[in-house]
Structure 1
């Protein structure tokens, strides 16, 4: 057991370059001009970076995935029985659920500009699993033929080569079309300055918020460099650690002089605030979403939230959708993948109520569709779109005008007031138009139910009992022309 314990500790060394060491799995870091090493994982030490990455990852993971099949009439039908839907919305691999899987991949994209998954398929060509691979372990190699492949370093130090058909590669902004550019590497100077300011603040308060820089004036001289070194070491030992804050005693006419600028002179707080805005700008996240409310108002937060959906999450969703459709679908699959933003765009109760009311009253939304959108079960009889009675389709209006012109009697000399004549003509046209529309609906349905009876009563302003009595006199099968004539007679007797 002792031997294995020793080997485990040896392998845990981050500086070990042996095949079983962790050296090759450490994220690539670049030293910025501020002297700070900046890496994707190291950048997460900044609260603003962590907040932005978390917002992007969690938002992307929470969007419902919808798979559509296009219809010939231009509509779309949802597909839930295809293997692609099960892969994206149910179980992407044996270890993760869809939320964890998408959250991790989006985090890789936000920090490193690339996300990789190994494609595992069955003999039919259907993808059964998408196993994520850490981007730091993947390299892209361009071959002499112009094609490229992926070289992946495994946990045991071995390297495995995968053809590009076995790796699903999600790329961020790319300069060569092969690898996405790392946002952390591109912004290393800004992030390095933020890390340096953060570390400086920590050291400042470690020293009890007192400056420690200074120099000692000594009127004499040290007899040799060793004596000077001994004095310096003894002074530092007397003023550091548990001795910090104790009274300083100097001999032989020595004087202590403080040097350096104050935090106020260095505009430390202003720099820290600017860095939060700078990081939010880098990830295109509204500052108020990472708790920076300095310039937020009640009126502009809502607009910024909409801009976050339109200008931040929509491009990410389009990137995912395009990659899924081009790299994961079979050639014969006529499907479309879409991330549904409806939940992100939902307003308050009053706004949703006005939206549903407008849609239902204008006929482009059914009552059951509104119920489903509010997570309510549909009810029988609420699937037909409604249409205002004072509005008709152009085709119905033209037919009504033609019927009116052909059926209007010739004018006589003893006609009454022209105003009454015009009112009567307008009423007759309305009755004929409604009668033609109702007759077409009844003939198409083939039955006269309670819904049609109520609709006729509302159209002509009649009692339901009178319309029910009229309905009992109608013979089946219904003929549109006969029904229209009978409805005109019914309506004119109003």
Structure 2
């Protein structure tokens, strides 16, 4: 066997050739049935794959990170003065800002199923840097004691061995619990077909949108094999490069027969569209987010965007949060890390306004919290939640002992000897008087601000003071014009304690 025939065994496929020349071939990636080598880098040459990776990486990088310190009573306080917050949200390392750092790691996760960072810490155990490591350079090595370590290939051929505690490892879907599985490898055939179709389309237009291939009918015979080779090469030169599309002149009775399947017969466009949907399905990205709007409507786009947050980004965020809690937080520290999805769930102005209004009116959201959600500074006096008047608890009567003292005393004096005879009834009267005073204070403030007693106000007064609407309507006729707030409050107290 000659030397040339030996090397001929390693002949590369056309799909392996790098655009930089015929003598360099990409070493990575297994071959699919379509003949295309599929690797993470090769898959990125598909526009749909690149779009999906960008969507996932940029969305994860743009989510605010929030760190809480838990309290013994079950509550938690938001903190920013902790070293972990500075690493995750300010300066993860000396080379990258937090957006670039998270974008890179999520890109590694999306394409390769794993993301790694070397952990550098000071003498106190506080992490000073999180340095990303390319997943292709990392090998996991099991130890005899059941633990494992990481073997990292470095420039120049050397290796760096790091114990498990010095590597922050983010995993995707895993079959062994140690390493995540690469979506690109799992979907090799689907992506290989997409790459093959893209390569076919590029070559089709490189040949002036004409099907490639054909054969020449020659009624005679070539005098020898060398003459046949010379003719074939001269024909290829006459129809290649700048000569593509020029008129071909054949002699000696030769005829050219075109061989090939039309794009229509091959359903080329349908295949390309299906590949976009297939790739979006692989990464769980709604098609409209990568500009596939064939079946998009306003209503289903809104629903798909919500599902993207719930079923795509939330699981990724859970993986990040769990990995941070496992590797970056001391067991002795009562810390929790969360990604804030509020910006993705904001909706339009009308929806947010209705949300804030419902929260403020029902007492589970303060006005300053609503302002903070809109990036507005707090205002003094808006820290306390408001509660509907018909849902005020008895404890609210303690808000103003001065206000409640007068009506309570009046009520007690009217009861006379009944207080001595029945202390429980006297106590109930006292609490009722205090409740009336508290409600009257709120109602007076509301009515005085508007300057008129509306039908809705009459209903509120009746519910808050336990009166009929007819009696309140009679009372309202005597309040025109509306007096000052103090007088109005006294009138309401009198109304509630006498009827």
Q: TM-score, normalization: structure 2?
A: 0.78
Counterpart residue number, 1:393 = 393
Task: Check if 1:181 corresponds to 2:181.
Answer: yes
| Alpha-carbon contact 2:68-2:79 (below 8 Å) kept | yes
Counterpart residue number, 2:497 = 492
2:120 counterpart SS class: strand
Counterpart residue number, 1:346 = 346
Report the Cα offset of residue 488 of structure 1: 5.4
Counterpart residue number, 1:365 = 365
Cα deviation, 1:370-414, whole Å, max 9, x if unaligned, reads 1111111111111121112222338889xxxxx9x999979xxxx
1:390 counterpart SS class: helix
Compared CA separation, residues 389 and 280, structure 1 to 2 (3 A): same
Counterpart residue number, 2:18 = none
Counterpart residue number, 1:8 = none
Counterpart residue number, 2:377 = 377
> Partners of 1:376 and 1:396 in 2: how far apart?
30
> Partners of 1:381 and 1:366 in 2: how far apart?
10
1:192 counterpart SS class: helix
| Alpha-carbon contact 1:27-1:40 (below 8 Å) kept | no
Cα deviation, 1:230-258, whole Å, max 9, x if unaligned, reads 11111111111122112211122111111
Aligned with 2:486 (options 442, 455, 466): 466
Counterpart residue number, 1:435 = 436
| Alpha-carbon contact 1:39-1:185 (below 8 Å) kept | yes
Cα deviation, 1:74-127, whole Å, max 9, x if unaligned, reads 322101111111110111111111101000000000011110000001111111
| Alpha-carbon contact 2:444-2:489 (below 8 Å) kept | no
Compared CA separation, residues 465 and 252, structure 1 to 2 (3 A): closer
> Partners of 2:85 and 2:358 in 1: how far apart?
33
Report the Cα offset of residue 156 of structure 1: 2.3
> Partners of 1:454 and 1:279 in 2: how far apart?
60
| Alpha-carbon contact 2:436-2:497 (below 8 Å) kept | no
Counterpart residue number, 1:121 = 121
> Partners of 1:130 and 1:395 in 2: how far apart?
51
| Alpha-carbon contact 1:116-1:167 (below 8 Å) kept | yes
> Partners of 2:300 and 2:93 in 1: how far apart?
41
Counterpart residue number, 2:21 = none
How many residue pairs get matched? 424
> Partners of 1:364 and 1:408 in 2: how far apart?
39
2:389 counterpart SS class: coil
1:96 counterpart SS class: coil
Counterpart residue number, 1:329 = 329
> Partners of 2:240 and 2:486 in 1: how far apart?
101
Compared CA separation, residues 430 and 216, structure 1 to 2 (3 A): farther
Note the residue ranges of structure 2 that are not aligned, 5 or more in a row: 1-23, 398-408, 417-428, 450-460, 466-478
Compared CA separation, residues 42 and 169, structure 1 to 2 (3 A): same
Cα deviation, 1:274-329, whole Å, max 9, x if unaligned, reads 00000000000000000000010111000000000000000000000000001111
Cα deviation, 1:205-230, whole Å, max 9, x if unaligned, reads 11111123111111222222222111
> Partners of 2:65 and 2:378 in 1: how far apart?
22
| Alpha-carbon contact 1:217-1:255 (below 8 Å) kept | yes
Counterpart residue number, 1:203 = 203
The range that moved more, 245-254 or 388-397, is 388-397
Report the Cα offset of residue 72 of structure 1: 3.0
| Mapping 1:100-119, distance limit 5 Å | 100-119=100-119
Cα deviation, 1:134-177, whole Å, max 9, x if unaligned, reads 11111001112211110001122211111111111111111111
Note the residue ranges of structure 1 that are not aligned, 5 or more in a row: 1-22, 398-402, 411-427, 443-450, 471-485
> Partners of 1:293 and 1:44 in 2: how far apart?
21
Report the Cα offset of residue 493 of structure 1: 6.6
> Partners of 1:465 and 1:106 in 2: how far apart?
59
| Mapping 1:72-151, distance limit 5 Å | 72-151=72-151
| Mapping 1:186-265, distance limit 5 Å | 186-265=186-265
> Partners of 1:366 and 1:173 in 2: how far apart?
41
Compared CA separation, residues 407 and 338, structure 1 to 2 (3 A): farther
Compared CA separation, residues 254 and 456, structure 1 to 2 (3 A): closer
Compared CA separation, residues 174 and 28, structure 1 to 2 (3 A): farther
1:325 counterpart SS class: helix
Provide the aligned C-alpha RMSD in A.
Answer: 3.2
Task: Check if 1:67 corresponds to 2:67.
Answer: yes
| Alpha-carbon contact 1:396-1:436 (below 8 Å) kept | no
